[in-house]
Amino acid sequence: MLSIRRLGFTMIELLIVIAVLGILAVAVLAAINPIEQINRGRDTGSRSDAEQLLSAIDRYYAGKGYYPWSDGASSLNTSTFGSGTDALIPLDDAAITIGDDALPLLANVSSGGSAEVKESFITRITDPGYNFLGIYNNGVTSSSTYVCFLPKSASFREEAWNRCSNDDHTGLDASIPSDFPTDACPADGSCATAASADDAIACQICLP
């Protein structure tokens, strides 16, 4: 009688296959860089929220003739919302940063006759775990309003660095508007004169 011999993988062959799969997995993870992808997704969300908030502020101004941090058309009244000293991401002394000091401002654009954004939006962007947005307007007539955030991903950080610094990264870019928040683009090694985008940890993305 002929005996049937069952064939299978040896232990050595299985170990080789597992090793090859491990190498491929490491290569794929290195190429994808999941942490960078997560940070980029968060930065994309911050940009979208900044656009929505900036649009709400513009609509508020178009409807009332003054900004939500003002008492009226003739008053800037930034002191109501603090000087930025308690802000998680302060822009400068004239800045209004979303946090406890800015809640009255946000209430103006999310309730009453304006209601430019939903209250759930305000709740989300004021959550302690959120990458806080900074609102800046220097109070001068016809000056722009900026909404800024500190990027977490390498690609967004490089975008902020390139906007803040000149071509050879030896100083601030000359095209930066005069009403731009200065602390969003520090003229030092943490931003404008940084050796690389990785070192430009203080450069902020500002809209518009």
Of residues 142 and 189, which shows the higher confidence score? 189
Q: Is the dihedral of CA 132, 137, 138, 144 positive or negative?
A: positive
End-to-end CA distance of the chain: 86
Q: By CB neighbour count within 10 A (0-12 exposed, 13-18 middle, 19+ buried), where does 94 fall?
A: middle
Number of folded domains in the chain?
1
Question: What residue spans of the chain are helical by DSSP H?
Answer: 11-32, 34-64, 103-110, 119-125, 154-164
Q: pLDDT-based confidence at 156, cuts 50/70/90?
A: very high
**Does residue 20 fall inside a structural domain?**
no
Q: By CB neighbour count within 10 A (0-12 exposed, 13-18 middle, 19+ buried), where does 26 fall?
A: exposed
pLDDT value at residue 44:
93
**Does residue 21 fall inside a structural domain?**
no
Domain encompassing residue 107: 36-207
